[in-house]
């Protein structure tokens, strides 16, 4: 994405949408060791976990893209603009996100877990290909 933006002169955008549901998740935030455990599955907690994962992914991506132009633009109406990070727009009111959404280590752990999971699937599909994820230096 950085290489494309550099070669075309057109700024890229990554859009994440989350919700206050990230407050309603499992006690540890993300259940890495029990991600597919049907015994503890709770639909509301699992949805909250997915929304927390959205926030953590954006947080880790922002860290990895350090030096790029990272900002949040939220439009509640055509003329309103705001720039803030780590908050959620809720009925035109800013609200701090859950503590788990501020956890840098959890964000990195989620990124690493996702890389490992994706790599295991893709290496099975294309074993002759050496996969390198998240090379954001280009």
For the cut 70, the answer to whether the pLDDT of residue 133 exceeds it is: no
For the cut 90, the answer to whether the pLDDT of residue 42 exceeds it is: yes
Distance CA 134, CA 117 (A): 14
Domain ranges of the chain: 2-125
Query: Which pLDDT band, with edges at 50, 70 and 90, does 98 fall under?
Result: confident
Q: What is the mean pLDDT of residues 24-32?
A: 88
Q: What digits encode the pLDDT tens for the residues 60-76? A: 888 887 765 555 555 44
Distance CA 128, CA 138 (A): 23
Tokens in use for 8? 């075309």
For the cut 70, the answer to whether the pLDDT of residue 128 exceeds it is: no
Contact assessment for residue 25 and residue 48, using Cβ atoms and an 8 Å cutoff: yes
Q: Which pTM does this prediction carry? A: 0.65
């Amino acid at each position: 994405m950085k290489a494309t933006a550099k070669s075309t002169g057109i700024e890229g955008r990554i859009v994440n949408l989350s919700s206050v549901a990230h407050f309603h998740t499992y006690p540890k935030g993300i259940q890495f060791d029990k991600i597919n455990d049907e015994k503890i599955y709770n639909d509301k907690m699992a949805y909250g976990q997915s929304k927390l994962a959205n926030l953590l992914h954006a947080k880790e991506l922002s860290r990895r893209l350090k030096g790029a132009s990272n900002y949040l633009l939220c439009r509640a109406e055509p003329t309103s603009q705001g720039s803030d990070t780590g908050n959620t727009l809720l009925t035109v009111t800013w609200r701090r996100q859950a503590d788990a959404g501020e956890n840098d280590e959890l964000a990195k752990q989620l990124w690493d877990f996702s890389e490992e999971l994706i790599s295991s699937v893709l290496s099975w599909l294309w074993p002759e290909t050496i996969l390198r994820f998240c090379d954001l230096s280009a």
